[in-house]
Amino acid sequence: MRKLLLIGLVIVAAALLYPSFQATAQHQSSSHATVTSYVSMARQAATDAGISPDLFERQIEQESKFDPRALSPAGAQGIAQFMPATARALGIDPWNPEQALKGAAHLMATYNKQYHGNYAAALAAYNAGPGAVKTAVDHCRSQWQRCLPAETQNYITVILSEQHN
């Protein structure tokens, strides 16, 4: 009798939990599909802006792992991790992935042009701000990257690394 009761409880529990497991599996599948569409969107935005789609994809991966709901402790928002003032200046909604990716690609193209094709400097400006790049260059000249915050140095290294997965 106890065995039958136990088997009955297991069957009821499994029936109750099955929809939850199914929903989790569907969510993971749709999350993967969504990330894939964001990657495609990022690559297209980079191409349209005239920057490397590969590097821009790595940059957004580093920024938010393609999570449009990402919020950093510093207050950076969305898939491209814009500070609110920067997003306002660009006229974009940082929580809208399409707007944010187009805005980020445009901003990177602008920085890349400003720094005469020095993509490391463009990345540093995106991550730490153009003022940080100017200060680093003023203080350290040709060794300017060493004068950037450690987080920004790592950011540049990870994105420009050929071994990046």
98 is catalytic: no
DSSP class of residue 82 equals B
- Matching residue, tokens 């009821």: 12
Tokens read off for 80: 């491209």
87, 97 contact by CB (below 8 A): no
Catalytic: which of 61, 63, 98, 151?
A: 63
Distance CA 11, CA 124 (A): 57
SS (H, E, C) 26-78: HHHHHHHHHHHHHHHHHHHHHHHHCCCHHHHHHHHHHHHCCCCCCECCCCCEC
Residues with a known catalytic role: 63
